[in-house]
Amino acid sequence: MNVFVDGQYGTTGLLIHERLQARSDVQLLSIPEELKKDPEIRANVMNEADLVFLCLPDEAAREAVTLIRNLNTRVIDSSTAFRTDEAWTYGLPELSAGQRDKIAGAARVSVPGCHATAFILAINPLIQLGILPRDYPVDCSSLTGYSGGGKGLIAQYENGSGQQGKSISTPPLHYRLDLHHKHLPEMTKFAGLAYKPLFLPTVCDFYNGMVATIPMATRLLHHQPKLSEIHAALADYYDGERFVRVLPLEDTELLSSNALDPTRCNGTNQAEILVFGNDDQVVVACRLDNLGKGSSGAAIQCMNLMMGLDEGLGL
**CB neighbours (10 Å) of residue 164?**
13
**CB neighbours (10 Å) of residue 218?**
19
Contacts 24+ apart (CB under 8 A), 305-310: 305/93, 305/100, 305/103, 305/104, 306/51, 306/74, 306/76, 306/103, 306/104, 306/106, 306/109, 307/1, 307/50, 307/51, 308/104, 309/25
**CB neighbours (10 Å) of residue 280?**
11
The residue type found at 220 is: L
Query: 95: closest CA among 114, 112, 81, 80?
Result: 112
Query: 287: closest CA among 260, 311, 267, 312?
Result: 260
Which helix or strand (DSSP H or E) is residue 190 part of? helix 184-191
CA distance 292 to 169: 25
227 contacts 278 by C-beta, under 8 angstroms:
yes
204 is an active site residue? no
Return the exposure string of 67-106: e unless at least 16 CB atoms fall within 10 Å of the residue's CB, then b: bbeeeebbbbbbbbbbbeeeebbbbbbbbbeebbebbbeb
125 contacts 190 by C-beta, under 8 angstroms:
no
9 contacts 32 by C-beta, under 8 angstroms:
no
Q: Catalytic pick from 114, 265, 286, 302?
A: 114
CA distance 305 to 303: 5
**Residues tagged active-site:** 114
